[in-house]
Amino acid sequence: MSTIAKVDPQDPDKKTIQKACSILKDGGILAFPTETFYGLGADALNEQVLKRVFALKQRDYAKPLLVIIAEKDQLHSLVSDIPAVAEKLIASFWPGPLTIIFKARKGLPSLLTGGTDTVGIRISSHPVAQSLASTFGRPLTATSANLSGGKNPITAQDVCDQLGGGVNMMLDAGETKGIKGSTIIDVTLSPPRIVREGDVPVDEVVRVVISHTGHCLQP
């Protein structure tokens, strides 16, 4: 059985967050709320625990895992390049539900990148996810806490229904917004390309890209 901890969605208890981070440091897996859906949190740089995440979700190894960081400075440990257009997007939409795909720094776990040379990252605007990422101090996976292809989870019960006791700890902060996932944009291309339309409207992303590059997005 998973440990279930009720947390205030706006002001999570520090001791609970510290306990959750101890589980992460020991190679455990959490379910936690984000500004979109509940995510599966694990140490994004620990290949062994990433294997557990894939097994739990029944996910194809070729599909990369998205990452949450606490602050922009952590990008340098994950990416080899931060294009100028990415700086503009970060300033406009982080923290928030915009995942940016960068060229990955050499040495990242292949399971994290799906065997590609890229990695998708965002800073979450949800107070629980923010507190977790900040206290943990390392990149955190944020793949949806569901079976691959299953219903996107907006409550802790949704996670339990699909993953049972497969997570070591559940941070239950009630219902998340749960309308769309994060919007995903690939800035390794010039001009950038929208990979997935999500909670950040594409026209807002386009406006920022055009104002900086003078070009629209790739189709």
As a whole number, mean pLDDT of residues 103-126 equals 96
Answer yes or no: is pLDDT of 216 > 90: no
Answer yes or no: is pLDDT of 12 > 70: yes
Q: What was the pLDDT predicted at 1?
A: 59
Region at 168 (left for phi over 0; alpha for psi -120 to 50; beta for the rest): alpha
pLDDT digits (tens, 9 = 90+) for 13-24: 999 999 999 999
Helices 84-93 and 202-213, packing angle to 10 deg: 140
Percentage of the chain exceeding pLDDT 70: 98
Strand partners, 196: 184
Is 3-213 a CATH 3.90.870.10 domain? yes
Indicate the pairing of strand 183-186 with strand 98-103: parallel
Q: Which of 160, 152, 200 is nearest to 176 (CA)?
A: 152
Indicate the pairing of strand 169-172 with strand 30-33: parallel
pLDDT digits (tens, 9 = 90+) for 139-192: 999 999 999 999 999 999 999 999 988 999 999 999 999 889 999 999 999 889
Tell me the torsion sign for CA atoms 185, 159, 141, 74: positive
As a whole number, mean pLDDT of residues 104-112 equals 96
Instruction: Give the model's confidence band at 219: pLDDT under 50 very low, under 70 low, under 90 confident, else very high.
Output: low
The total of other beta-carbon atoms located within 10 Å of residue 111's CB is 23
Q: What was the pLDDT predicted at 218?
A: 63
178: tokens are 């749960």
Q: What was the pLDDT predicted at 212?
A: 75
Residue carrying the six token digits 């949450």: 68
Map out the domains of the chain as residue ranges. Answer: 3-213
As a whole number, mean pLDDT of residues 203-219 equals 80
38: tokens are 């509940």
